[in-house]
Structures are given as structure tokens and as C-alpha cells.
DNA sequence: TTGAAAGCGCTAACAA
DNA sequence: TTGTTAGCGCTTTCAA
């Protein structure tokens, strides 16, 4: 559509093109012609040149020249395909952390497409930021991060790495807790509704879940893989219903899947928790969990605390220069609500 | 906590402090000591000086110096207290628009606190961006925008102004549509669950809703104001139930309120849509509307198209210099689902 | 009414 | 092993 030349047009170019000096161009472009007594002829000449050449001001230069104290910039790379509510929870956590810790940073969010982190991490972006928090990197994105030496401090949220500081939840615990609940309730026929594992923590969670159950003689677990969405959860339950016997308890690996599943059970006259108890790995919004029908029992993830931990680490990396990749792991807890009481 | 000096420490300062030249400092700080044969003594001296002085690199300078073609930056100012899912819908809309139109922009999101847009729009931020999209500005934020002449092109989402280009939905239509549905269904005792109007469109919607109903002899409308959240919706319905007679139809001004209301009706054994029909102004996620129990009938807002329109306007403002404040208004539609069929 | 020169913080080339 | 110099794009004196 638009012709984007790779070499940017500068004030100098306009000056050369019109035959006036750079300073005059600068004055005109900032709308100060009148105040500075620039002739109308010159003004028009410059403005039209700017348009034809496709001038866009270089904001770095303006900033540099402005001599304003430049706050360090922290960039949050966010997988924009993530349909969950996490972003708002995470952002809120970050902002609270900024305030509580008295940090003085300029926070910005850069959406990126899963598997294409590399494309978003241009040299320009790297040069333009003092610290980076990366959320939900895919395996492919992780490979990129592991293989390349980026010049900016990076903290990984919910991923493991020996190269970068990481902030995680205890995935083993996340798998163990729901198993314990189901066992305590004497359940015998569990099912797990999950989406393709786009990070290894998901495998760990599921494996520990299975392991704990198998330790108590339960090894026949219905497993349905779908996409991480409400429609995915809905479809997988419909599929489940075709294959009797029904499970007596279900673990959903995300709130999206859980809400879809609940709707499907409801539509088919299956009572939650009467016939089937349901627990979700609570990666969504608290309120949406509390006000669903029935309200959703979850393994609650400490998103806000994790956001704070990410910020602390990045801040440390920015102030101290040399940082070793530490691993912070947060604990989760079971929150019993209607879909699986106690 | 941390001592943030307002004047930033530069490489020059470190040079003066350590008695070596700026270039040496630069080399050391970028970890090139070995490659460039800088002595260990100097290296250590510089690094420790950087730490004690609290040096953070000025990224503008790095960028400027790097000579990389600088993509124009578009900043999305987002009210971070907004609990809705809109951000993800809006962002997705923006990104699709970027791709579809072949725009070459660097997109960034800046969260801000409602009523405090002013604080986020620092000179620095303004200088650092080529175009701004502002979402959900409060009345106070709007006053700030109207009173000040900012140097960067701005487009307003979901707000009106004679100063800036705006992208809106047709608020009259949004008020009219649900009224028409309820009238068509022969409803007599409507209620409206709403939150404090933080922009005038909300008043317009409600006034037209009331007007349309009054035109058909219905002027006794239950009205409950609560906060825009699920708990708000829940509370307001509990309050409503105390004051018999119950309405026979309810308009919720946001999905959050609607979901809370639905839960409250459910908990009190009131059938939706059997006893009460419910319509929401659908500012949330499509999927969450579709898979709620019952699924939510909404006035559907064309978020993605609006995001595209915002981007088009900003792009136009960036390329052409002089732009007049046009007003684009999008049409909404009624989507019938279970909570109010037909 | 316009232009020349200096400098914001940083780095690369070259000199010492 | 380190320093000097020039220049990225822009704006602000000051001079013409």
C-alpha cells in the first residue's frame, strides 16, 4: 500500500531538496514559521517537500536533543494470541510492583506472535529498551533465546532456562494438588482436558497428576487434547460424552477449557459437581472463576506475585550489571469452589 | 527504595570519575574489554564506577548512533484498570490492521491509570512516539486533552472531540436496539444495570433506551448503579430481588455486569430468559458471551473494525502532516443468544 | 528572513 | 593499551 523506504528521510534531506538550511526546515516543521518570521514561500516549499519525500521525524534524535532525563524502559513481550485474561492480571501486578517498590521505569508492552518472538526482537527494539520480560515464549521462541546472545537483560516468565533469570510456578505442585483432592474425594475415573503443551511445565503438571493417581492404583485416565479456548473445552466434553462411561472427576488445564467444558456438561444435563467434580488450573480472572455457574474450583496461580518477581529481577539486572540466572519458583494453592467443594 | 537521580549518569561522567576516556568506558561497558585489549585494572575500575554512580545507558543515543532505520512508533494508551477483555480484542484488531494494510509501524502499549492520563503523557513519551491512540479516557482525561496542545497526532477511541479524530460506535443505536427487542417481546417492566458513566456515550445509550421505551408507554424503569465488575452485577441483582416486583427484562451496560447478574439470578432460582430476559452491551470476549450459562444476548460492538479505523487515522496523520478531526461512527448489531432469544 | 555552529550520549575508525 | 575525532538527527543559540 504505502511505500516505506528503508532509509529514513531526514531534515537534512528536506533541506537539500528545498535549498534551505536544516534549521529553517526544523522551524517550519514544528509549526513555528510565523513566530520565527519564515516567509510563506519557504514554509510552503518545506511542507510540501516533507510530504512528497515522506518525512517522519526521528524520535530518538528529538529525545536525545531534548535533554530530558530518560527513564529506563522495561518492555513486556506479550504473546498476543493468548486469549486469557492473564495480561490484565499481570499488568496490574507489574504496576503495583512499580509503585510499591518505588521503581522509576517506563513500562511498555510489545505484542508478539507465538513462534515469532524473533521477528519482534529486532535490533531496534533491543537497543530501545533497558530490560525485557518475556511471557509465554513457545519452544521455538525459547530456542531462539537460548541460541542468541542478546544485549539486554531478560527475565522469563513461566519458562525455564539456565541462561536467563526465570520466574515460575511449581509445576509439580500444580499437578499434585488436584490429584490429591480427587483422591481424597474417593474418585476413581479421572479425565484430563488439555491443550497441546506449548511449554514443558504443562507436561510436568500432567505427568505428576498421573503419577499421584497411579500411586493409588488409578491409571486409566481419559485424556482429551483440544485447543486452549472455550469452544475447545466444549468440543472435548461432547467427545467425552460419546465414550461412556463418564469420568467422575475432570482436570482442565486452563480456565478457558474449563468454562467451555462446564457449558457442555450443562447442555447435556450432567451435574457439576454432583456427577463430575471439576478443577481448573486457574490461569484466568478471579472474578470469572468466582461467578461462573457453578463457580470454578482452581489451582490458583500467583500471577501478581510473579509479576513483581519479574520486575525485581529486571531491575536488579539493570542496576547491577552482571547478573546470574536465578530461578524463582512460586507456590500455588487449591481454592475450593462449587465445581469441586472442599 | 532506590535512589533515582533526576540527572542521568552518562559515559562521560564515568570517564571523568575514573580518569579514562569515554570510548574506553563505552568499550568496557559493552563487555568488549578482552576483544579490545583493555587492561583488567581499567575494566574493573570502570565497571565499579558504573555501579556506584548508578549508570543506565541512554537508549535514545544508542539507537541514534546505531543508524538503524527507525520505524515510526504508534503508542496505544490503555486504561489498565479496565477489567474487560477488550484489550486483547483491540490489540488483535490493531495487529490485523497492520498486516492487512501493509503498515510498517512499531506498536507499543502504555498502560495508564484512569483520570491520570496526564501523568503518563510526559514530554518524554510524547517525544518518543509518532502517533497515539487513546482508549477509554475519562472525563478528566478528556479535559486534559482538550485543554492542552500536544505535539503528536492523536486519535480517540470511543470518545467524542472536536479537536481530535475520533472513532466511535453509534451510541444511540446501542440504546435503541435493546429497547426494540424488549418492546417486540412485549416486555413491560424493564430494568437497567449500569455503572457510573465515565464517558458521555453511556448517558446517551441509557437515555435513548429510556426514550424508546417511554414512546411505548413504559417509563417506570428500575435502575441500579454498581461498579463495572462481576461482583457489581451480582450485588445489584440481589438488591433488585429485595424490591418486588421483579422486572421482566434487564439491560446490562457491560458484559462484566451481565455475568455477575446471571449468576445472581441463578443462585436465586430465577430463570433466564424464562422469567427475565437479559441483554448486555457486549464489550467483552465473544467466546465468553457464547459459553456463559445461559449464553449472553448482546449488542455487539465492532471492536476490530474500530481498531482498524484508529490505525488508519493515525497513519494518515503521520504521513500527511495536517489532519482535520473527522468523526467515524460504527454501527452495532443485536446478537440473539439464550439469555434473550430472537 | 535565513544560516552556521554547537551539542545531546553514544560508538567506530583511527591515531598514539 | 588507551585517547581523539567525527557524526547519527535534531534543535537552539547567535550571527548575518
Q: Give pLDDT tens digits for B145-200.
A: 999 888 889 999 999 999 999 999 999 999 999 999 999 999 999 999 999 998 88
> HSE (CB half, 13 Å, CA atoms) of A60?
22
pLDDT band at A273 (very low <50, low <70, confident <90, very high): very high
Which H, E and C letters describe A43-77, residue by residue? HHHHHHHHHHHCCCCCHHHHHHHHCCCCCCEEEEE
Alpha-carbon gap, residue B234 to A338, rounded angstroms: 16
Q: Are A14 and A49 in contact (CB under 8 A)?
A: yes
Only one residue has cell 460506535, namely B169
Least confident of A276-290, B79-93, B301-315: B79-93
Helix (H) or strand (E) holding B291: none
Maximum distance among all Cα pairs of chain B, rounded to whole angstroms: 90
Angle of CA points B267, B269, B274, to nearest 5°: 125
Q: What is the mean pLDDT of residues A321-327?
A: 77
| Residue that wins the pLDDT comparison between A209 and B89 | A209
CA-nearest of A129, A171, A136 to A156 is A136
pLDDT at B324 exceeding the cut of 80: no
Q: Are B11 and B25 in contact (CB under 8 A)?
A: yes
Q: What is the mean pLDDT of residues B5-24?
A: 87
pLDDT at B91 exceeding the cut of 90: no
Q: What is the mean pLDDT of residues A304-310?
A: 94
B60 touches strand D (CB under 7 A): no
Cα torsion through A284, A287, A291, A297, rounded to 10: 50
Task: Quote the cell numbers at residue B240.
Answer: 433488585
| Residue that wins the pLDDT comparison between A295 and B119 | A295
Residue nearest to nucleotide C12 (CA to C1'): B23
Least confident of A80-94, A104-118, B17-31: A80-94
Q: What is the DSSP letter of B8?
A: P
Q: What is the pLDDT of residue B322?
A: 61
CA-nearest of B49, B116, B52 to B78 is B116
Q: CB–CB of A59 and B102 under 8 A? A: no
Angle of CA points B13, B14, B16, to nearest 5°: 65
pLDDT cut 90: percent of chain A above it: 64
Q: What is the pLDDT of residue B66?
A: 87
Of all nucleotides, the one whose C1′ comes closest to residue A62's CA is D10
Q: What is the DSSP letter of A211?
A: H
Alpha-carbon gap, residue B247 to A44, rounded angstroms: 64
Give SS3 for A319: helix
Burial of B65 (0-12, 13-18, 19+ CB in 10 A): exposed
Q: What is the mean pLDDT of residues A116-132?
A: 88
Alpha helices in chain A (DSSP H): 11-18, 22-29, 40-53, 59-66, 86-101, 117-120, 123-127, 139-147, 171-184, 200-214, 230-242, 255-267, 286-290, 303-319
- Cα-based distances in Å from B23 to B7, B14, B45, B181: 21, 11, 14, 73
The count of other CB atoms within 10 Å of the CB of residue B59 is: 21
pTM: 0.88
Q: Are B150 and B126 in contact (CB under 8 A)?
A: yes
Q: CB–CB of A59 and B73 under 8 A? A: yes
Alpha-carbon gap, residue A37 to A28, rounded angstroms: 10
Q: What is the mean pLDDT of residues A312-338?
A: 89
Alpha-carbon gap, residue B40 to B42, rounded angstroms: 5
CA-nearest of A245, A248, A242 to A189 is A248
CA distance A214 to chain B (A): 33
Give SS3 for B45: helix
Q: Are A318 and A153 in contact (CB under 8 A)?
A: yes
Q: Are B85 and B144 in contact (CB under 8 A)?
A: no
| Residue that wins the pLDDT comparison between B150 and B205 | B205
pLDDT band at B249 (very low <50, low <70, confident <90, very high): very high
Contact partners, residue A262, CB within 8 Å, separation at least 6: A233, A272, A278, A292, A293, A294, A296, A339, B293
pLDDT at B319 exceeding the cut of 90: no
Alpha-carbon gap, residue B109 to B132, rounded angstroms: 10
Residue nearest to nucleotide D13 (CA to C1'): A23
Q: What is the pLDDT of residue A2?
A: 36
pLDDT digits (tens, 9 = 90+) for B214-247: 999 999 999 999 999 999 999 999 999 998 799 9
Least confident of A330-339, B13-22, B117-126: B117-126
Give SS3 for B331: coil
Least confident of A77-91, A250-264, B53-67, B282-296: A77-91
Cα torsion through B192, B200, B204, B244, rounded to 10: 20
- Cα-based distances in Å from B90 to B178, B301, B307: 24, 11, 6
CA-nearest of A338, A330, A331, A342 to A289 is A338
The count of other CB atoms within 10 Å of the CB of residue B99 is: 10
Q: What is the mean pLDDT of residues B322-333?
A: 88
Most confident of A33-37, B4-8, B267-271, B281-285: B267-271
pLDDT at A334 exceeding the cut of 60: yes
pLDDT at A3 exceeding the cut of 50: no
Q: Please spell the DSSP secondary structure of B111-127, one letter per residue.
A: EE-TT-HHHHS-HHHHH
pLDDT cut 90: percent of chain B above it: 64
The residues of the protein lying within 7 Å (CB) of strand C read: A 19-24, 36-39, 41-42, 61, 64-65, 67; B 8, 10-12, 22-23, 26, 29-30, 57-58, 61-62, 64-65
Q: What is the pLDDT of residue B102?
A: 87
Q: What is the pLDDT of residue A210?
A: 98
Q: What is the pLDDT of residue B119?
A: 87
CA-nearest of A87, A76, A69, A174 to A130 is A76
CA B307 to chain centroid, in Å, comes to 11
Q: What is the DSSP letter of A247?
A: P
pLDDT at B2 exceeding the cut of 50: no
pLDDT at B6 exceeding the cut of 60: no
Q: Are B99 and A88 in contact (CB under 8 A)?
A: no
To the nearest whole number, what is the mean pLDDT of chain A?
91
How many helical (H) and strand (E) elements, i.e. helices and strands, does chain B have? Answer: 14, 12
A with B: how many residue pairs have Cβ under 8 Å apart?
194
Burial of B248 (0-12, 13-18, 19+ CB in 10 A): middle
Task: Quote the cell numbers at residue B277.
Answer: 430476559
pLDDT at A322 exceeding the cut of 70: no
pLDDT at B52 exceeding the cut of 80: yes
CA distance A107 to chain B (A): 7
Q: Are A317 and A323 in contact (CB under 8 A)?
A: yes
- Cα-based distances in Å from B45 to A249, B15, B17: 63, 10, 10
Q: What is the pLDDT of residue B274?
A: 96
Q: Are B175 and B207 in contact (CB under 8 A)?
A: yes
| Residue that wins the pLDDT comparison between A95 and A225 | A225
pLDDT band at A84 (very low <50, low <70, confident <90, very high): low
Q: What is the mean pLDDT of residues A39-67?
A: 90
Q: What is the pLDDT of residue A83?
A: 59
> Distance from residue B69 (CA) to nucleotide C7 (C1'), in Å?
23
Helix (H) or strand (E) holding B42: helix B40-53
- Residue numbers in B near A283 (CB within 8 A): none
Least confident of A71-85, A192-206, B2-16, B231-245: B2-16
Nearest to B59 among A102, A127, A293 (CB): A127
| Residue that wins the pLDDT comparison between B151 and A302 | A302
Q: What is the pLDDT of residue B122?
A: 84
Q: Please spell the DSSP secondary structure of A154-191, one letter per residue.
A: EEEES---SSS-EEEE-HHHHHHHHHHHHHHTT---EE
pLDDT at B4 exceeding the cut of 60: no
CA distance B198 to chain A (A): 20
Q: What is the DSSP letter of B322?
A: -
> Distance from residue A37 (CA) to nucleotide D7 (C1'), in Å?
30
**All structural domains of chain B:** 11-65 (1.10.260), 73-168+304-330 (3.40.50.2300), 171-302 (3.40.50.2300)
Pick from A3, A10, A63, A93 the residue to mutate for testing the B interface (most B CBs within 10 Å): A63
Task: Quote the cell numbers at residue A200.
Answer: 514443558
Give SS3 for B80: coil
Amino acid at each position: 500500500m504505502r511505500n516505506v523506504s528503508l532509509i529514513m528521510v531526514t531534515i537534512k534531506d528536506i533541506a537539500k531538496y528545498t535549498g534551505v538550511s536544516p534549521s529553517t526546515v526544523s522551524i517550519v516543521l514544528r509549526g513555528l514559521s510565523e513566530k520565527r518570521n519564515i516567509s510563506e514561500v519557504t514554509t510552503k516549499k518545506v511542507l510540501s517537500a516533507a510530504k512528497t519525500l515522506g518525512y517522519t521525524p526521528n524520535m530518538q534524535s528529538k529525545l536525545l536533543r531534548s535533554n530530558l532525563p530518560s527513564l529506563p524502559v522495561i518492555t513486556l513481550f506479550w504473546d498476543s494470541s493468548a486469549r486469557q485474561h492473564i495480561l490484565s492480571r499481570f499488568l496490574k501486578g507489574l504496576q503495583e510492583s512499580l509503585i510499591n517498590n518505588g521503581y522509576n521505569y517506563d513500562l511498555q508492552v510489545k505484542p508478539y506472535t507465538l513462534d515469532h518472538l524473533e521477528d519482534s526482537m529486532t535490533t531496534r527494539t533491543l537497543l530501545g529498551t533497558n530490560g525485557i520480560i518475556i511471557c509465554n515464549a513457545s519452544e521455538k521462541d525459547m530456542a531462539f533465546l537460548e541460541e542468541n546472545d542478546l544485549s539486554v537483560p531478560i527475565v522469563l516468565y513461566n519458562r525455564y532456562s539456565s541462561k536467563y533469570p526465570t520466574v515460575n510456578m511449581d509445576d509439580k505442585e500444580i499437578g499434585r494438588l488436584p490429584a490429591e483432592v480427587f483422591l481424597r474425594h474417593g474418585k476413581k475415573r479421572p479425565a484430563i482436558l488439555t491443550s497441546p503443551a506449548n511449554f514443558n511445565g504443562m507436561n510436568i503438571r500432567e505427568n505428576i497428576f498421573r503419577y499421584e493417581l497411579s500411586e493409588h492404583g488409578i491409571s486409566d485416565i481419559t485424556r482429551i487434547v483440544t485447543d486452549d479456548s472455550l469452544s475447545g473445552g466444549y468440543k472435548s466434553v461432547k467427545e467425552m460424552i460419546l465414550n461412556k462411561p463418564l469420568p467422575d472427576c475432570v482436570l482442565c488445564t486452563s480456565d478457558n477449557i474449563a468454562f467451555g467444558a462446564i457449558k457442555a456438561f450443562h447442555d447435556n444435563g450432567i451435574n457439576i459437581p454432583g456427577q463430575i467434580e471439576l478443577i481448573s488450573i486457574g490461569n484466568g480472572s478471579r472474578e470469572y472463576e468466582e461467578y461462573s455457574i457453578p463457580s470454578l474450583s482452581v489451582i490458583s496461580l500467583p500471577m501478581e506475585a510473579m509479576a513483581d518477581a519479574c520486575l525485581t529481577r529486571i531491575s536488579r539486572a539493570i542496576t547491577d550489571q552482571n547478573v546470574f540466572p536465578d530461578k524463582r519458583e512460586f507456590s500455588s494453592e487449591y481454592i475450593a469452589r462449587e465445581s469441586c467443594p472442599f
